[in-house]
Chain A
Amino acid sequence: MSTDRVHADHVHEHPTWKQYKWVALWLFIITVAEVWAYYIPALVNSKAFVPSILLMMVVKFTIVVMFYMHLKYDHHLFRKLFTGPLTIAGITLVAFLFLFGKL
């Protein structure tokens, strides 16, 4: 796991403005879509609303974490340090919803 030392400080090149602006654009578009969906009564009342909001939320979350927080490029150790706790937090949250009759 930790035998692979990173010798230079920046073996992993961080992305640049060229990628970042696309990331920002996508985040913007998805946010617009989220708010838009909120104002379509037919969609809000349908079964698809909650899943689609959740999906968009997850996509935004993933984009920020992968590109802005560099998890896609950085040492795998950081990925483990983040995804482990995130998974436990997620499972606990779902368990709470179940235990309190929200699922």
Chain B
Amino acid sequence: MAITGIILHTLGEKTDAVRAMVEQSDDLQFYGLHEEKHLVIVGEMPSRELKRRLEGLEKTDGVLAVYTTFVNTEDEQ
């Protein structure tokens, strides 16, 4: 499983809904909220699914952009 550091840049009024979605997802862990618009989360998913998962997050209502800041795949190697 890859471990990924992710920032979700959200629309202010939809931040709570996006956070709730993150907290309900098995493969995402919520770490913090910055300036009411940046959710810091950590994802755990096979790296082959990473791209698709990030694209899915990007298409979530209220998400303006997704930034990946860290990927570790050492236990897949």
- Does A associate with B in a complex? no
